[in-house]
Amino acid sequence: MRYLLSFFLLVLLVFNCSNKSDSSKKDYKYTNDLIHETSPYLLQHAHNPVDWKAWNPETLALAKKENKLIVISVGYAACHWCHVMEHESFENDSVAKIMNAKFINIKVDREERPDIDQVYMHAVQLMTGSGGWPLNCIALPDGRPIFGGTYFEKEQWIKILKDVSDLYENDPDKAIAYAEQLTQGIKETDLIALNKNPEPFTNSAIVESVETWKANFDTINGGITGSPKFPLPNNLSFLWRHGIQNKDQALQNYVSTTLTKMAYGGIYDQIGGGFSRYSVDETWHIPHFEKMLYDNAQLVSVYSNAYLVTQNQLYKQIVEETLQCVERDFLDESGAFYSALDADSENAKGSLEEGAFYVWNEAELKAALKADFEAFKTYYNINKIGFWEHDNYVLYRTKSDTEVSEILNVSEAALQEKLKNWKLTLLKERSKRKPPRIDNKALTSWNALMLKAYTDAYRVFKKPHYLEMAIKNAQFIKDKQLREGGGLNRVYINKESSINGYSEDYAATIEAFISLYQVTLDEAWLTSAKDLMHYTLEHFYDEGTGMFYFTSNLDTSLISRKMETVDGVIPSSNATLAKNLFTLGLYYYNDDFGKKAKQMLSNVTEDALQYPSSYSQWLDLMQNYTKPFYEVAISGSEAKQHLYEFQTNYLPNVIYAAATSESNVPLLESKNVPGKTYIFVCTNGSCKAPQTEVSKAIQLIKY
């Protein structure tokens, strides 16, 4: 199939028709409809001369009525190369004339409509073998794609527009035949078969899979060998757990190296906290400067859990500074978190430039830091190591605090005081610059990831503020995004909630609510998680495969209804939902939930073991079956204190239920004894003799 598609792509690119129309002789009235949208990304394009329209039934009906091809252009507000293509092509009058004359042009915010992005991204991947953003597809009037790619230079884009429109005008049967083949390929991409004869899950199979995966590890710089380097918190989270439960010290060292090198790198904002999307090099030095909420949320969770084991103060610092960044730059007064900070910002000349807000030249640093500049220079490599371009430096560490304190001949305590002052000084200086544009829409799934980050940070560091932030955000989701009838909306912007949620939104919210229950003991959050799971089963579950569709059965159908199983920058919705079914099945003694979770995992086991880096959260679930897994139930007046004591340990194979009195959670039923606090360590509802001391109860828990 791929060879056929690639061949046809070549035909399209070289196709030339002698009967070309001269669109330059006509004048077109531009009626860009995006001015009526709320998405920050769509509004960025609202004044293009292209007659952009939003994806909606009216636009799709117009394409069919006028029998015009559709340009489907997908991006997001913080995307640097989306801005580049906009400037080169979509702001160009001559390009706009061609697009407006020959096409119905639709702009899509991939974060608002990941369902549309999934379908056409699969099309581009089938055609080209890769994908990315901006994503540009040309489709038949009924939405079936015939051409696609990512970023195109202006002349390339003009030629593509002309060649594809000429093909459709002069040989429509060929275009339709190709669209039929490609659409069939899209539908087959994510087909999941019900595994009717599952094999037992084995730890040895996971170990073997991870051993194969290790061939790609960069044990010097962390991450995966080569460049660019992405944080991939899903993978780090699983590998950390796997390394500890299997006593693989080399794997633990690898994850620690990765976390440390990222914390030292330019991918981490050394002055303001928070992580950029990725680094363009193999040493984490030069980032692609956009900051995404989902990266920072998941990394807070990873660093928190790593701290529990290592007690590495650097990891605690990263959590604290990242959450400070989130509250400074992403927080809405409602308790919601915005989606992203742009990679681009205005430079001193007033032009948009990638990274302009974050980089420093030597003169600026000397003026701000004065006598302390030389020490700062040593710490952050204001030299050829830290140099980037245009006389600018991206702050970058290569030595530990201990090493630097020895070089500077100061105590580590004195160095820490200097660091604090440097960051405050430069943060103040930086605040005088024009900040990056912000994508101020709040997405339910990404907010749920940040909610879980706060619960993880609270569980580890016991800072009351973290719990306050978690509860405030959870209340936002419940008050603003939860509809009557039990469904979730996906988007919140300008105090309005909209767009029916996707399975990703339900998966992340259920997981976050379970996590919040485990630190608050407020059973309302666990009940909400269960209710959302029932809703998800009603509207997303497919009995034939035992998996969940990405879109609700209440949504308007696209050319393909996808099932998301591959973990990306956030866990796949099916992996998270399977983990949620496993957990809720234990809390509520719900065998049906448990059976569904096991069936889902069985359906993807072969792929998960063969491609572990793309299925790490499935392997995390598999670890629940191949290693001991426990329910810890605590009942009595000292339940909360005992719970806190438990949570000072890294126990990835435990869920907690606790109450100071009688509880409605089945896992806690008949476990309350007046005047006593008992700890029950259970496996699948079968409990060992109750304990009164946490230390003795922990001895019953094996890895």
Question: 176-190, 238-252, 653-667: which range is least confident on average?
Answer: 176-190
Residue 487, beta-bridge partner list: none
Short-list 334, 360, 80, 114, CA closest to 228: 80
Residue 27 has pLDDT above 70, yes or no: no
Q: How confident is the model at residue 375 (pLDDT cuts 50, 70, 90)?
A: very high
* Residue 274 confidence (pLDDT): 98
* Residue 22 confidence (pLDDT): 37
CA distance 144 to 408: 64
CA distance 14 to 688: 72
CA distance 111 to 41: 9
* Residue 187 confidence (pLDDT): 84
DSSP state of 486: S
The pLDDT tens digits of the residues spanning 563-613 come to 999 999 999 999 999 999 999 999 999 999 999 999 999 999 999 999 999
Reading the block at residue 397, the tokens are 């560490």
Amino acid identity of residue 353, one-letter, is E
Quickly count: other Cβ atoms within 10 Å of residue 428's Cβ. Answer: 11
Q: Quote the distance between the C-alpha of residue 522 and its chain's center.
A: 27
Residues 298/233, Cβ–Cβ less than 8 Å:
yes
pTM of the model: 0.93
CA distance 387 to 380: 10
Residue 352, beta-bridge partner list: 346
Residue 12 has pLDDT above 90, yes or no: no
Residue 674 has pLDDT above 70, yes or no: yes
**What burial letters (b/e) apply to 306-337, b meaning 16+ CB within 10 Å?**
bbbbbebebbbbbbbbbbebbeebbbbeebbb
Question: Residues with Cβ < 8 Å from 510, sequence gap 6 or more?
Answer: 529, 532, 533, 536, 576, 577, 580, 584
Mean pLDDT, the chain, rounded, equals 93
CA distance 575 to 233: 15
Reading the block at residue 9, the tokens are 């792509």
DSSP state of 36: G
Reading the block at residue 228, the tokens are 């660019």
User: Peptide bond before 134: cis, by omega within 30 degrees of 0?
Assistant: yes
The pLDDT tens digits of the residues spanning 277-290 come to 999 999 999 999 99
User: Hey, is 212 helix, strand or coil?
Assistant: helix
Percent of all residues in the chain with a pLDDT value above 90, rounded to a whole number: 89
Q: How confident is the model at residue 5 (pLDDT cuts 50, 70, 90)?
A: very low
CA distance 639 to 519: 11
Q: Which residue has tokens 């605690």? A: 316
User: Hey, is 559 helix, strand or coil?
Assistant: coil
Q: 638: number of CA atoms within 13 Å, CB side?
A: 12
More confident residue, 261 or 350: 261
Reading the block at residue 226, the tokens are 């080569």
User: Hey, is 396 helix, strand or coil?
Assistant: coil
Short-list 184, 149, 178, CA closest to 74: 149
Residue 19 has pLDDT above 50, yes or no: no
* Residue 96 confidence (pLDDT): 96
Residue 397 has pLDDT above 60, yes or no: yes
Q: What value does the mean pLDDT take over residues 499-526?
A: 98
The pLDDT tens digits of the residues spanning 463-480 come to 999 999 999 999 999 999
Q: Which residue has tokens 């030095």? A: 285
Question: Residues with Cβ < 8 Å from 700, sequence gap 6 or more?
Answer: 630, 681, 688, 691
Short-list 510, 508, 513, 537, CA closest to 525: 513
Q: Distances from the Cα of 83 to the Cαs of 45, 77, 177, 343, 421, in angstroms?
A: 9, 8, 34, 10, 36
How many distinct helices (H) and strands (E) make up the chain?
26, 23
Backbone phi, psi, residue 543, to 5°: -60, -30
Q: Distances from the Cα of 600 to the Cαs of 209, 580, 654, in angstroms?
A: 19, 12, 21
Residues 265/279, Cβ–Cβ less than 8 Å:
yes
The pLDDT tens digits of the residues spanning 424-471 come to 999 999 999 999 999 999 999 999 999 999 999 999 999 999 999 999
The pLDDT tens digits of the residues spanning 473-512 come to 999 999 999 999 999 999 999 999 999 999 999 999 999 9
Q: What angle do CA 661, 665, 670 make, to 5 degrees?
A: 60
Q: What value does the mean pLDDT take over residues 621-638?
A: 97
Q: Distances from the Cα of 113 to the Cαs of 2, 56, 446, 490, 551, in angstroms?
A: 26, 11, 14, 9, 10
R_g of the chain, CA atoms, integer Å: 27
Q: Domains, the chain, ranges and CATH? A: 2-189 (3.40.30.10), 203-343+439-626 (1.50.10.10), 358-432 (no CATH), 630-698 (no CATH)
* Residue 30 confidence (pLDDT): 61
The pLDDT tens digits of the residues spanning 118-177 come to 999 999 998 888 888 999 999 999 999 999 999 999 999 999 999 999 999 999 999 999
Residues 653/628, Cβ–Cβ less than 8 Å:
yes
Question: Residues with Cβ < 8 Å from 687, sequence gap 6 or more?
Answer: 633, 680, 681
Reading the block at residue 526, the tokens are 């666990």
* Residue 11 confidence (pLDDT): 42
Q: Distances from the Cα of 381 to the Cαs of 356, 393, 397, 404, 411, in angstroms?
A: 19, 9, 7, 11, 20
Question: Residues with Cβ < 8 Å from 123, sequence gap 6 or more?
Answer: 137, 145, 148, 182, 185, 186
* Residue 8 confidence (pLDDT): 44
Residue 541, beta-bridge partner list: 548
Question: Residues with Cβ < 8 Å from 190, sequence gap 6 or more?
Answer: 122, 562, 563, 564, 565
CA distance 554 to 560: 15
CA distance 168 to 142: 13
* Residue 29 confidence (pLDDT): 55
* Residue 129 confidence (pLDDT): 85
CA distance 190 to 518: 34
Quickly count: other Cβ atoms within 10 Å of residue 370's Cβ. Answer: 9
